């Protein structure tokens, strides 16, 4: 198959899964909920609808290739950073640092990814921004809760911009024998992470008994985690043909992705609990905010990027 045919068959596959999911949702609404309001089933159907929109948006981005994907993730980072900063304590002296974060750091990071300047985009936020932001904050002249304010802003940029930008950064990897197919690497990452989330949710709803971290995320169960991670890993392994990996390598990569994704969900849940909110925002109906949907991608993307880069790229 040519890369294009592989991409098409992948999207057709995802489309078919969504068709099946929509039918299941419809049948559940009709037979179990008897067409009456039902919290879990209604939420499931809202989520499935949102999935259609998300898959459509990603397909559109893929149609426009590198430009489309970089613009899509630039927007995603913007939405994520906006959610993060909204929930973060800032003072009026932070104005300069905040505007710099949104209007300089965010576009600059994606421009560096666009140019494929690995040597700079890999350290831009962790080194340069890490040092320059507190300088901008100091210029504001307000020392109240200073360390907390600078630390949180750096955290927000790491999570929302640095980590997320490692998804489109996969396009800049030069993998021998895998020319012009890097878009599929993004598809692989997104499919494995998101299917792991969905499968953990399904396994948890069906068989979940033992709570995993009741203090942090009451909906996560041991059964959900085990079933979800195993199934998503199997799914990832079975997608080895779209990747530069062989079957077992694809399985190990999937395990790493799903593992990091799981912990990403836990960590971002802990932050939400600390801030006393249930969701990061309301951007995606049924799912919450952008960060609610992307918590696992945030943690998986940089690790997947570097594992692939170290072992497979030149």
For other proteins, the closer of residues 244 and 288 by Cβ is 288
Task: Tell how far CA 195 is from the center of its chain.
Answer: 12
Strands (E), the chain: none
**Looking at 85, 108, 260, 268, which residue binds other proteins (CB under 8 A)?**
85
Q: What is the DSSP string of 257-282?
A: HHHHHHHHHHHHHHHHHHHT-S-S-S
Minimum CB separation of residue 143 from other proteins in Å reads 17
**Looking at 82, 149, 293, 309, which residue binds other proteins (CB under 8 A)?**
82
Minimum CB separation of residue 266 from other proteins in Å reads 20
CB 69 within 8 A of CB 168: yes
Minimum CB separation of residue 292 from other proteins in Å reads 13
Contacts with 222 (C-beta within 8 Å, 6 or more apart), sequence order: 208, 209, 210, 211, 212
Residue length, the chain? Answer: 314
- Residue 76 engages other proteins in binding (rule: CB under 8 A): no
Minimum CB separation of residue 93 from other proteins in Å reads 10
For other proteins, the closer of residues 260 and 283 by Cβ is 283
For other proteins, the closer of residues 191 and 268 by Cβ is 268
Interacting positions 215-244 with other proteins (CB under 8 A):
none
d(CA 298, CA 262): 11
**207 closest CA partner among 195, 228, 223:** 223
- Residue 281 engages other proteins in binding (rule: CB under 8 A): yes
For other proteins, the closer of residues 103 and 248 by Cβ is 103
- Residue 143 engages other proteins in binding (rule: CB under 8 A): no
CB 265 within 8 A of CB 206: no
d(CA 207, CA 305): 33
Q: Which two tokens stand for residue 104?
A: 């300089």
- Residue 275 engages other proteins in binding (rule: CB under 8 A): yes
Q: What pairs with residue 221 in β-bridges?
A: 211
H or E element, residue 312: helix 290-312
For other proteins, the closer of residues 143 and 282 by Cβ is 282
- Residue 102 engages other proteins in binding (rule: CB under 8 A): yes
CB 293 within 8 A of CB 284: yes
- Residue 90 engages other proteins in binding (rule: CB under 8 A): yes
For other proteins, the closer of residues 178 and 280 by Cβ is 280
CA torsion sign for 111, 117, 122, 125 is negative
Cβ burial of 300 (10 Å; 0-12, 13-18, 19+) is buried
For other proteins, the closer of residues 148 and 180 by Cβ is 148
Minimum CB separation of residue 107 from other proteins in Å reads 13
- Residue 46 engages other proteins in binding (rule: CB under 8 A): no
**Looking at 58, 74, 87, 257, which residue binds other proteins (CB under 8 A)?**
87
- Residue 277 engages other proteins in binding (rule: CB under 8 A): yes
Minimum CB separation of residue 274 from other proteins in Å reads 9
Residue recorded with tokens 């949104």 = 102
Interface residues with other proteins (CB under 8 A) are 78-79, 82-83, 85-87, 90, 92, 95, 98-99, 102-103, 275-277, 281-283
């Amino acid at each position: 198959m040519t890369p294009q045919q592989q991409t098409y068959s992948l999207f057709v596959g995802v489309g078919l899964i969504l068709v099946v999911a929509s039918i299941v949702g419809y049948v559940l609404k009709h037979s179990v909920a008897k067409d009456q309001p039902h919290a879990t089933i209604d939420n499931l159907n809202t989520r499935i609808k949102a999935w259609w929109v998300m898959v459509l948006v990603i397909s559109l981005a893929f149609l426009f290739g590198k430009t489309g994907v970089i613009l899509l993730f630039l927007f995603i980072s913007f939405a994520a950073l906006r959610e993060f900063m909204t929930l973060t304590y800032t003072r009026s002296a932070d104005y300069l640092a905040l505007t710099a974060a949104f209007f300089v750091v965010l576009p600059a990071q994606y421009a560096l990814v666009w140019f494929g300047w690995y040597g700079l985009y890999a350290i831009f936020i962790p080194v340069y921004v890490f040092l320059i932001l507190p300088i901008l904050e100091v210029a504001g002249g307000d020392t109240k809760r200073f360390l907390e304010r600078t630390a949180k802003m750096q955290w927000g940029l790491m999570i929302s911009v640095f980590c997320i930008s490692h998804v489109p950064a996969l396009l800049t990897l030069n993998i021998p024998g895998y020319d012009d197919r890097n878009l599929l690497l993004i598809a692989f990452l997104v499919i494995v992470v998101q299917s792991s989330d969905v499968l953990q949710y399904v396994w948890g709803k069906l068989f979940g008994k033992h709570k995993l971290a009741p203090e942090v995320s009451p909906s996560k169960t041991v059964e959900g985690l085990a079933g979800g991670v195993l199934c998503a890993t199997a799914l990832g392994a079975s997608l080895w043909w779209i990747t530069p990996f062989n079957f077992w390598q694809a399985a190990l990569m999937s395990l790493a992705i799903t593992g990091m994704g799981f912990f990403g969900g836990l960590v971002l849940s802990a932050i939400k609990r600390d801030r006393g909110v249930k969701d990061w925002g309301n951007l995606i109906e049924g799912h919450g905010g952008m960060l609610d949907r992307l918590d696992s991608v945030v943690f998986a993307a940089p690790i997947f990027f570097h594992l692939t880069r170290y072992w497979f790229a030149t």
